[in-house]
Structure 1
Amino acid sequence: MNPEINPGVAVVGPGAIGTTIAAALHEVGRTPLLCGRSPRDHLTLQDGDRFITVPGPVRTNPTHIARTADLVFLAVKATQIEAAAEWLAVLTGPETVVCVLQNGIEQLDRVRPLSPHGQIVPAVVWFPAQSQSDGSVRLRGDARLSLPDTSASRVVAAALQGTRCAVDLAANFSSLAWRKLMQNAVAGLMALTHRRSGMFGRADIARLTLAYLQECLAVARAEGADLGDEVPQEILDKFRAAPTDMSTSILTDREAGRPLEWDIRNGVIARRGRVHGIPTPISDILVPLLAAASDGPG
C-alpha cells in the first residue's frame, strides 16, 4: 500500500538535493508532493548500502495543483529558477514558507520576485548528494541544513524534526552562508579542470586554492561575515580529505553540457568586491572562463 502524499509539503526540483529532502520526509511518513520538469514514478536515494524509494509521481503540470502548500522546498538550481516560477505561483500563498535550497548568498533577491506572497527562508545545504547515471541520487555524508533563526525557519525545522536531515537555526547565518559560498567558489576549479576532489592533492592546485580563498575571505569580511583567518585552510583541508572521486554539482553540470551556476558561486565574489573596492585578480580570470564554459559561444 502506497503511503499517503502530504500535499501541504512540496519539493520543487527533485534533483540531488530535492531527492535527499524528499527521502528524509518519506522515511518518517511525511511523503511530500513532488514537482519537476520530467515525469517520474519514483525517486531513489542511495545511502551506503541502503536504498530509499520515494513514491511519485513527479508532477509536471502546475495547472493541476489545486491548493497552496504550507511549506515548499525549492531545490532547483539558480539556472533553472525562472522555470520554477509557475510552480511557485500555484503553490505559495501568504502563509506559505518557501525554503530555498540553493547555492549562493542571494536567494532572497532571486526568489522573492517569483514568490511575492510567500515567506522566503534561505538555507545553507551542507550535505554532498550526487545524481547517478541511472537517475538515482547518492548521499555521501550526513544531511544537514543551516537556516536563519526566524519564525518561518522554525516551520522548516518542525517539518524535518526526527528525520535524517538535521536543521540548525543559526544566529550567524550570514557568516555560514559566506563560508559555504567560499567552498562552492573553489569547486569552480573542478569544473574548469574536469577533475574531482583528488586534484586538491596537487601542491600547485593547493596554493592556487588558498590564494583564491584568501581573496574570497576579504570580500566576505567586507560584507560583514565573521570568519577567521583559519577558514581558507579549513576549506582546503576538507577538499583534500574528501574521497578522491568526490564530484560537485557544477562539475556534474559541466560534464553534462548544462549551464553552470558560475555567477552565483563565483561571479558574486568579483561583483561584491567591486562594491567594496577590493581587488579580485583570481576571480577576474576564473569568472570569464567559467562563463564561457557555461554560455559559449564556441
Structure 2
Amino acid sequence: MSSPLNSARAAAPPETIAVVGTGAVGAALAAWLARAGHRVMACSRSAPERPVVVIDDGDGPRAYPVRWHAAPAQVESTADWVFVATKLPHTPAAAKWLSALVGPSTRIVAAQNGVDHRERFAELTDAPVVPALVYFIAERLAVGSVRVRHLDRGDLVLPDDENGRLAARLCNESGIVAETEPDFTTQAWRKLLINAAANPLTVLTGRRLEVLREPSVAELVLALLDETVWVGRTAGARFDASSASEALAWLRALDPDGTSSMLQDRENNRGLEHEGLTGTVVRLARQHGIPTPVSDTVLALLRGLSTSPAGSSR
C-alpha cells in the first residue's frame, strides 16, 4: 500500500476540517489532512508545545502545521468537515465541540470503534454523520505525535451512500486510502469481530498482538469470535460458517509487535472502550436470548480492570 503522506496533495480546493480528539487515530488523520493542504483545526484539551502534528508513517517523523484549540470557546469558525476520533466513552463530551464547529453544510465523519456510529451521535447533532471503520494501526508517542502501520486494506471503510462517497473522495484526494462498502453493516461487524477479540485479550494479558499466536489464547479468541458472529447475524451482518476462523487467521497474521487501542489506553491510564465493544455483543445477545458465556466473562474482567486504580481514567 502506498503511504498517504507520499500521495499527491488534494486535487480539490482546501477545506476547513476539524479533528475532535487527537489521540493516535485523530493525530494521524489531522497530519494527513494538513499534509494535503487543508486548513486543519485540532480540537483537544491537550496541545503540544508547537502547533503541529507529527507522524511517522514509515519514512521517519514529519511535522505538519495545524491550529490547536483547547476549548470550544476558542473556535472561530465552523468547519466543512468534522472528524470525530474520540474514544467511545468520550463521545458525549464532543457535543460542545460540535456546537461550535457544525454549520449548515457541515458533515461529520465518526472515526470510532463500534457498530452504532449514527445512533450515538443522534442526540448530539443534526448534521449528517458518516460512520468510518479505521483499518490502520496508530500508536500515540506523545501529545500530537503518532506512529502509523498500514494493514492489507484501505485506511478507512465508509458506507456507499451519498455522504459516504463525498467523505471517501475527500480522503482519497488527501492521500488517505478510503473505500466505500454497500453492505456497511456486515463490514462494521467484521471490524467488531477484530476489536472484540484483540482489544480485550491484549489488555487482560498486558501483551501485544503476539499473544494471539499462542494456541491456548487462540482457542479463547475463536470462542469470542464465534459468539460475536452469532450475535452479528441477528443484527443483519452476513456472516457464514467460516467468518470466525477467517477473522482468527487475519488476527494471527498481524505484526506480532503491533498493539491495540485498548492496550494503549490501559498503559496510559485512560478509560477503556469495553462497553462499546464486548459490551455491545453482550447487550444485544441478551436482547435476543443468545448465550455468550465467554464474552460475559471477558466483559466482567474488563469492568473489574477498568475500575481498578491502574485502570481508572484520568
Task: Give the TM-score range, shorter chain.
Answer: over 0.9
Instruction: Report the CA distance shift for 1:98/1:203 in structure 2 as closer, same or farther (over 3 A).
Output: same
Does residue 151 in structure 1 map to residue 162 in structure 2? yes
Give matches, 1:262-273, under 5 Å. 262-273=274-285
Distance in structure 2 (CA, Å) of the matches to 1:37 and 1:260: 19
Residues 53-62 or 213-222, more deviating: 53-62
**Map of 1:25 onto structure 2:** 33
Distance in structure 1 (CA, Å) of the matches to 2:161 and 2:259: 33
Does residue 254 in structure 1 map to residue 266 in structure 2? yes
Residues 175-184 or 122-131, more deviating: 122-131
Question: What's the offset of the Cα at 1:10?
Answer: 1.0
Distance in structure 2 (CA, Å) of the matches to 1:247 and 1:161: 26
Does residue 66 in structure 1 map to residue 98 in structure 2? no
Stretches (4+) displaced over 4 A = none
**Map of 1:181 onto structure 2:** 192
Instruction: Report the CA distance shift for 1:95/1:44 in structure 2 as closer, same or farther (over 3 A).
Output: same
- Matched length: 293
Distance in structure 2 (CA, Å) of the matches to 1:17 and 1:236: 24
Distance in structure 1 (CA, Å) of the matches to 2:72 and 2:285: 39
Instruction: Report the CA distance shift for 1:194/1:240 in structure 2 as closer, same or farther (over 3 A).
Output: same
Distance in structure 2 (CA, Å) of the matches to 1:112 and 1:53: 35
Q: 1:167 aligns with which of 178, 194, 213?
A: 178
Instruction: Report the CA distance shift for 1:8/1:135 in structure 2 as closer, same or farther (over 3 A).
Output: closer
Distance in structure 2 (CA, Å) of the matches to 1:16 and 1:177: 20
Distance in structure 2 (CA, Å) of the matches to 1:153 and 1:134: 30
AA paired with 1:159? L
Where structure 2 has 5 or more consecutive residues not aligned to the other structure, the ranges are 1-13
Does residue 90 in structure 1 map to residue 100 in structure 2? yes
Post-superposition Cα deviations, 1:213-241, rounded to whole Å, max 9, x if no partner, equal: 00110000111101222222222222222
**Map of 1:225 onto structure 2:** 237
Residues 167-176 or 49-58, more deviating: 49-58
Q: Is the contact made by 2:158 and 2:179 (CA closer than 8 Å) also made in structure 1?
A: yes
When normalised by structure 2's length, the TM-score is 0.88
Does residue 119 in structure 1 map to residue 132 in structure 2? no
Q: 1:48 aligns with which of 46, 58, 72?
A: 58
Instruction: Report the CA distance shift for 1:12/1:135 in structure 2 as closer, same or farther (over 3 A).
Output: closer
Distance in structure 2 (CA, Å) of the matches to 1:163 and 1:65: 23
Distance in structure 2 (CA, Å) of the matches to 1:61 and 1:256: 22
Post-superposition Cα deviations, 1:236-268, rounded to whole Å, max 9, x if no partner, equal: 222222222211110111112211001001111
Q: Is the contact made by 1:259 and 1:295 (CA closer than 8 Å) also made in structure 2?
A: no
Post-superposition Cα deviations, 1:22-46, rounded to whole Å, max 9, x if no partner, equal: 2222222224121111122211110
Where structure 1 has 5 or more consecutive residues not aligned to the other structure, the ranges are 1-5
Distance in structure 2 (CA, Å) of the matches to 1:114 and 1:150: 22
Equivalent pairs: percent with the same residue?
37
Does residue 108 in structure 1 map to residue 126 in structure 2? no
Distance in structure 2 (CA, Å) of the matches to 1:204 and 1:288: 20
Distance in structure 1 (CA, Å) of the matches to 2:243 and 2:143: 36
Question: What's the offset of the Cα at 1:130?
Answer: 0.9
Q: Is the contact made by 1:128 and 1:139 (CA closer than 8 Å) also made in structure 2?
A: yes
AA paired with 1:34? A
Q: Is the contact made by 1:11 and 1:73 (CA closer than 8 Å) also made in structure 2?
A: yes
Post-superposition Cα deviations, 1:34-74, rounded to whole Å, max 9, x if no partner, equal: 11111222111101133231213421121122322111000
AA paired with 1:128? I
Q: Is the contact made by 1:31 and 1:54 (CA closer than 8 Å) also made in structure 2?
A: no
Distance in structure 2 (CA, Å) of the matches to 1:9 and 1:166: 17
Question: What's the offset of the Cα at 1:135?
Answer: 5.4
Distance in structure 2 (CA, Å) of the matches to 1:295 and 1:18: 26
The Cα RMSD (Å) is 1.9
When normalised by structure 1's length, the TM-score is 0.92
